[in-house]
Structure 1
Amino acid sequence: MSKFGELIDADVPVLLDFFAEWSDASKAMHPILKDVALAFGNQAKIIKIDIDKNKVLSEALRVKGLPTLIIYKNGEMKWRHSGDQEANDLITILKQYI
C-alpha cells in the first residue's frame, strides 16, 4: 500500500483504471484511455491496475464494477466512476484537476 500512496500523491491528476483481462468492458476502455493519455501528455497520469493482480488494493478501494475509474490528486480522491466513459467526457473531467 505504501507504493500506492506514492503513486497517487502527485501534483498532477492521476487517473486509475481498475480492469480485468477477462472483462469486455475493461478491454473496450483501453483505446479510450490511450486517447486521453495522448491528450494530456505529462499533465496527467493514467495508470491501469489489474484487479486480479492487485486484489488487496481493489478490495480496499471497494472496486466492484469494471472498469472502475478513479482520479486522485495530491493523494486525495477527486472523482470515481464505475462503468465505461467516453474519451471526451474523461478529458473534460480531468481538466478540472489540472
Structure 2
Amino acid sequence: MSKFQDIIQGEKPVLIDFSAEWCQPCRMMPPILKQVKQQLGDRIRILKVDVDKNPAIARKYMIQNVPTLMVFKKGEVKFRQAGVIPAQQIIGIVQQFL
C-alpha cells in the first residue's frame, strides 16, 4: 500500500479505476481510459486497482461498487464516482485539476 500512497501524493492528477475481474461493467473501462490517456497524455497518471487483489486499499477508500473512479492530487481525493463514465466526461473532470 505504501507504493500506492507514493503514487497518489504527486502533483500530477492520478485517475484510479477500482475494478474486479468478475465485474461486467468494469470491462467497458479500458477502452474509455485509453481515450482519456490519448487525450491527456503525460499530464495524468492512470492506475487500475483490482479490489480483490488489493483489499486493504479498497477498504481504506470504502470501495463498495465497481467500477469506481477516483481522482487524487497531492494525496487528496478530488473526485469519486461509481459506474461507467464516458471518456469526454472523465477528461472534463480531470482537466479541472491539471
Please report the TM-score for the alignment, with normalisation by the length of structure 1. 0.96
Instruction: Spell out, residue by residue over 1:23-80, the C-alpha distance to the aligned partner (whole angstroms, 9 max, x if none).
Output: 1110011110111011111100010001111011101110011100000001111010
1:41 match: 41
1:20 match: 20
How far apart are residue 89 of structure 1 and its match? 0.1
Runs of 4 or more consecutive aligned structure 1 residues displaced over 6 Å after TM superposition: none
- Pairs aligned (count): 98
1:83 match: 83
For 1:47 and 1:3, locate their aligned partners in 2 and report how far apart those are by CA, in whole Å. 12
5+ residue gaps, structure 2: none
1:5 match: 5
Query: Which amino acid letter does the alignment assign opposite residue 70 of structure 1?
Result: M
Query: Which amino acid letter does the alignment assign opposite residue 42 of structure 2?
Result: N
Alignment of 1:38-77 (within 5 A): 38-77=38-77
5+ residue gaps, structure 1: none
C-alpha RMSD of matched pairs (Å): 0.7
Query: Which amino acid letter does the alignment assign opposite residue 6 of structure 1?
Result: D
Please report the TM-score for the alignment, with normalisation by the length of structure 2. 0.96
